[in-house]
Amino acid sequence: MTEPITAQTITAGPITISGHGGDQIEAYLARPTGTTPRGGVVLIHHMPGYDEATLEMARKFAVHGYSALCPNLYSREAPGAAPDDAAAAVRAAGGVPDERLVGDVAGAAAHLKSLDNANGKVGVIGHCSGGRQTFLSACSLDIDAAVDCYGAFVVNEVPAGFPISMKPIIGLAPDLSCPLLGLFGAEDQNPAPDETAALSAELDRLGKAHEFHTYPDAGHSFFAVDRPAYRVAAAVDGWQKIFAFFGTHLAA
Amino acid sequence: MCTYQTEKVAVDGSGKGAQGWFPVSDATVYVDHPVHAPYGHTVNIDFLNPALGPSSRVALELTEEAALALADAIRASVVSAPAGIASANQKV
């Protein structure tokens, strides 16, 4: 008899993994117990950091049968600091460099593939800045499925005067290594629907598999359960689409 | 939206954070999502001392009305006091 999902026993906690350049960084691993082969999910945290709500998402993936690993992208600048303090420090310093992000995701994916019950498949998901970083990772690494939740500045230029050198990355689209699920809010300004439509059109042109959904009555951060932007209808449907998508592409 | 636009200013004084008082050297001001205030966006003000590490931070998340009122109150307070009394070059 198959156990109901909510009865899935998991383990979860912080570990150390090798990130970009071999740096030892903190990460949060949540995984089902037992020896059943499992797909892996790299969870890229949003700009506010490696926070409680993000780690809760990692445990949700584990309950649904995936080994989920969330690297703390701010480990280097703020080891041991509270997530909000770490985010403020990294923000003031100009954010996470793209090259380092890709290296950290590569390290997380490698760690997932090294687990004793790994099935060899790894997906990536990220929210907000993590949505853009998910697209970047899926165009830079060999990934099996990617989920971009309202990532901005994939297509559009950042406004003038930004203190960091974040560039549009739509030029990387020919290298997209896997199917892409995009979940967006119709009321979001970054990315606004015209930006996600432009990305979809470019992926169509390139023949890259993708599935985009834009929810009415939802703006940026509609998955964030601890923020006023949370929209229950969009988030519930979005989670169903995420699990259906990973169920298809991360099965052995 | 997530803005990366950040106003930075060097400051001279002290702040009280989670571990007590410390000298503050920098302040940042930016409009972005708050961590705690019950709004989608707020004016976020951080008083920092990077030399002491990320935890040396005093953080505020204010509505724009509150932030502007605070800025006015700071100016009014300084103007109403004798000129130079709280200056970095004050006589003690």
Instruction: Please indicate whether, in this complex, the C-beta atoms of A88 and B57 are within 8 angstroms of each other.
Output: yes
Domain-embedded: residue A37: yes
| Closest-approach residue (CA) in chain B for A81 | B55
B7-39 pLDDT, tens digit each:
899 999 999 999 899 999 999 999 888 999 999
Domain-embedded: residue A51: yes
A199-252 pLDDT, tens digit each:
999 999 999 999 999 999 999 999 999 999 999 999 999 999 999 999 999 998
**How high is the ipTM of this complex?**
0.79
Q: Report which of B12, B23, B7 is spatially closest to residue B57, judged by C-alpha positions.
A: B23
Count of CB atoms situated within 10 Å of the CB of A248: 11
Number of structural domains chain A divides into: 1
Q: A196 is in which domain, residue-wise?
A: 11-249
Q: Which residues contact A108 (CB under 8 A, 6 or more apart)?
A: A17, A19, A27, A42, A69, A70, A71
Element (H, E) at B76: helix B64-80
- Per DSSP, the three-state class of B27 is strand
Domain-embedded: residue A27: yes
Domain-embedded: residue A182: yes
Instruction: Please indicate whether, in this complex, the C-beta atoms of B59 and A88 are within 8 angstroms of each other.
Output: yes
Chain A residues close to B48, C-beta within 8 Å: 88-89, 92
The first and second tokens of residue A73, run together, are 């992208």
Domain at A136, CATH number: 3.40.50.1820
pLDDT of residue A1: 42
Q: In what order do the strands lie in the sheet with A210-215?
A: A10-18, A24-32, A67-71, A38-44, A118-127, A145-149, A180-185, A210-215
Which among A84, A96, A98 is the top mutation candidate for probing chain B, defined by the most B β-carbons within 10 Å of its own β-carbon? A84
Domain-embedded: residue A173: yes
Beta bridge partners of A27: A15, A71
Rounded to a whole number, what is the distance in Å from the CA of B43 to chain A's nearest CA?
13
Rounded to a whole number, what is the distance in Å from the CA of B62 to chain A's nearest CA?
15
Asked whether residue B87 carries a pLDDT value surpassing 80, the answer given is yes
A190 closest CB neighbour out of B2, B8, B35: B2
Per the CB < 8 A criterion, the answer to whether A108 and A69 are in contact is: yes
Domain-embedded: residue A86: yes
A82-134 pLDDT, tens digit each:
999 999 988 888 889 999 999 999 999 999 999 999 999 999 999 999 999 99
Chain B residues close to A189, C-beta within 8 Å: 1
